[in-house]
Every structure is written in structure tokens, then in C-alpha cells.
Amino acid sequence: MIPYNKPYLTGNEINYIKQVIESGKISGNGPFTKLCQRFFEDKYNFGKCLLTSSGTDALEMAAILLNIKDGDEIIMPSYTFVSTANAFVLRGAKIIFVDSRHDHPGIDEEAIEPLITHRTKAIVVVHYAGIACNMERILEIASNFNISIVEDAAHSIDSYYKTKPLGGMGHLAAFSFHETKNIISGEGGMLVINDKRYEERAEIIWEKGTNRASFWRGEVDKYGWMDVGSSFLPSEITAAFLLAQLEKIDSIQRKRKDIWIKYFNSLLPLQNKGLIKLPVVPSWAKGNGHLFYIVCKTYHERSQLIKYLKDNQIYAVFHYFSLHASPFYAAKHDGRKLKRSEIYSECLVRLPLYFELENFQITYISDCIIRFYENYSTKQVN
Ligand SMILES: *Cc1c(COP(=O)(O)O)cnc(C)c1O
């Protein structure tokens, strides 16, 4: 069976983990954590970076930092992972879900402004598949209404809006290093603080609500309880794993983008015949090969395709269920139809994409899809 994901190991993870164990500094905020954080601050010119135990944690930190309270409203796409919303729901916020773009699962930027009220505290954008949202337009709206922007950049490492790296444009941004992402540490994540006003408090929230980080730097002579917080920082073992991955980021990204282009080219004839839709990359976006998807015409067609691929030893998967229609949120949603989000929930298929996927496998998978449509479309006509 060709899996849809296979975690890639650079080989150096084990050496760095060994170094951590031998050093005796195993808890968080040690040398490996600092090297990882500095990697992002230097390479992408991000504001302050703090490693977290997951992307979910980074989003939860963002919600605490923004002082989200009961009754605050947060605008975000419905087509996203539950953590994007949960982080704010945990603080008592009401989520105002927005539909996807007509040509992309990302947030429809023109649908945002009419939803803004005096309660709106933040807009959370998700750069789905590592393809940038229309950031200039969204930043303009946010600044007109004095609202914060959080980038859920879980898919978006080393991806760009024009020349600007994703994760560097919002007031805050969350990355994930879960084993299904491009750069991994098993579980893992990072909060980026681009707005300096949040820097000091972010470090306190990260260290259980204490000023222990400034204590270690010798800035204060004792540390105490300063604010709410939690244990958001990962151990040095996780950071060591991550550093080994980051050192290979250029070759990892090159390979993934190469796979993405091969899929695109070999499936283009199906799009030209009007049978499927391939990902649309807007002129402002430079992607990172995070995931490759196709959009079928109906839910039935997608189920048949996934089954056909499985019968041919290929594991392809659907992706998010629209959150506005989820068992947890449907009754809390304000009733607006979000049609495009539901279409992506019902019709989008992710194809296998991982570092070790070989050219002959990409050809095999593409040929299988082409063969499926030779039969499926004739069946539909007859
Ligand atoms: C993976 C993901 C997350 C959560 O990241 P974890 O590290 O798994 O907690 C959040 N948002 C999106 C869009 C994701 O894909």
C-alpha cells in the first residue's frame, strides 16, 4: 500500500537526541530550543519565536495573548482543522465562520468585512496546503477595523506571499511540526510573535505564567507567578529532533515541490477535459509542496475514486469537515450557508505526498486516477 504520508528522517535526529541525553539538560528552553528558534528568526526574519509542544498549543497561546474573553468574536474559515477554532472557544469566544474562495479552500477575503462587529477581536487565516491567502487585502481590512491577525501557518513553512514568508505577516502565527507536516518533530509547534507588544507576556505564558525565562537570563533575581500560563514549551529532545530536520529544509522543500509539480503536470489532461479541478495557486502565492489535492465533482465520485485507489494499493484521503456544520458547532453557528466550504469537505481528495515518494509511484498514482476517470465518465454518460 502506498501511504498518504510517511515521516522522513534525515538521519541526524538520533545524534542530536543523544547529545541532549548526555548533556543532562533535557527539559525545555535549552540550547536546541534556542537554535531552532533562532533558525526561524534569522532565515525568515520573523519576530520572536517560541517552540511549543504542538501547533494546537501555539494557537492556544495566541488566544491567551490576545486576551480573548466570553462573547468575543473570532473570524476564521470553516474549512480548517478543529484546533484553529478550539483555541479560541476555550477562552469563551464565538466563532464566526467564513466560506472558502471560489477557486481555493482558503478564506474568501471579500466575505470578511460584512461579518465584523464591535465584538470582533481577531481574524484567523489558514494558508491551506501552504498556499497564501490574500494577505494584503486581509491586513488592510484588519487595520481599518483595528483587529488582530493570527496566521494558522501549520501547513505553511517556507511558503510565501509575494516575497514575504508566511507566518511573518500576522501579529501572531502558529506553525506545526506534527509528523504529517513538511518539517516534523513527532508532535511540535511554534508561536511567532511579530508584534513586539506581545513579546514579554508570551514568554511568561509559555513558562507556566512565571518569569522564569528572564530569571535564567539573569534579568531578575527571583522568579514568580506573573500571569496565567501553562506548560507550552517542548523538551530539548523534541527540539533536537526538530533541529536535525531544519538543517535539511532546503532539500526537503525541493523534493516536495518537485512531487507537487509532477502530479500537477500528469493530471492536467483530466482538468483540461473538465473532469477534475487541480489546485489553483494565485499569482501572489509561492507554495511549499505541503499537500496535493484534486477536487471531484460529487461526493459519490470522490468515494468511488478513494475506493478505486485503495483497491490499487494507494491510500488517498479526504480532508476537513466544515467546522460550522460539525456536531459540536452546528447549533452554535448562525445559520449562514457556507457552500464552497461544504463542497471542499465533500469533494476534495489528498494524494500521497512525502519525501520518499518515487517518480514511478507518482506516475502509477496518476495513471490510476486517469484510468478511473476513463470508466467513471463513460458510466456517467451512458
Ligand atoms: C496540523 C494543524 C494544526 C494543529 O497542529 P498540531 O501540531 O497537530 O497541534 C492546526 N491547524 C492546521 C490547519 C493544521 O493542519
**What pLDDT, in 10s, does the model give residues 217-231?**
999 988 899 999 999
Beta carbon of 154 within 6 Å of any ligand 1 atom: yes
Beta carbon of 155 within 6 Å of any ligand 1 atom: yes
Pocket test for ligand 1, best of 127, 152, 175, 322 (most atoms within 8 A of CB): 152
Enter the C-alpha cell of residue 152: 494558522
Enter the C-alpha cell of residue 192: 511567532
Residue 51 in this model has a pLDDT that exceeds 50: yes
Please, where are the H alpha helices in 273-338?
A: 299-311
Max CA distance (Å), the chain = 80
Please, what is the angle between helix 359-381 and helix 299-311, to 10°?
130
pLDDT at residue 293 in the model: 98
- Of 38, 29, 91, 28, nearest to 60 by C-alpha is 91
CB 319 within 8 A of CB 78: no
- For atom 15 of ligand 1, which residue has the closest CA? 154
Beta carbon of 84 within 6 Å of any ligand 1 atom: yes
The overall average pLDDT reported for the chain is: 97
In single-letter form, the type of residue at position 171 comes to H
Burial group, residue 138, by CB count within 10 angstroms (0-12, 13-18, 19+) = buried
Q: Which atom of ligand 1 is least distant from the CA of 176? A: 7
pLDDT at residue 376 in the model: 87
Pocket test for ligand 1, best of 52, 54, 56, 341 (most atoms within 8 A of CB): 56
What's the rounded Cα separation, in Å, for the pair 181 and 322?
A: 21
State pLDDT tens for residues 80-101. Answer: 999 999 999 999 999 999 999 9
pLDDT at residue 378 in the model: 61
Q: 279: Cβ–Cβ under 8 A, 6 or more apart, which residues?
A: 104, 129, 131, 264, 292, 293, 294
